Amino acid sequence: MFPMIFFPGNVFPLEMMPGFLQKFARVLPLYYVNEGLRASMVFVDHGTAVGYAAVVAGVAAGVFVLGIRATRWEENT
């Protein structure tokens, strides 16, 4: 969680970071949350905001499926 505080562009602008950190920031899901909020509130571009929301929903669904696969549900009776 610590990298998600500084790298996605919510504390420091992404343009101020070196190129390899910009690429790393674009992998984090919080980057897409920030860009979606910026697109909807600042630029009033709701289509782009929905696209970013779809990316975040896809990541959430993927993590959810991985969590289901990694968890064993057994009853010990």
Domain range list for the chain: 2-70
Instruction: Dump pLDDT digits (tens) for 19-45.
Output: 998 898 888 888 999 899 999 999 899
Q: Model's pTM, two decimal places? A: 0.76
CB 56 within 8 A of CB 34: no
- CA torsion 45-51-56-57 (nearest 10°) is 120
d(CA 38, CA 8) in angstroms, rounded, equals 13
d(CA 66, CA 68) in angstroms, rounded, equals 5
**pLDDT above 80: residue 10:** no
More confident residue, 71 or 2: 71
Give pLDDT, residue 77. 58
**pLDDT above 90: residue 57:** yes
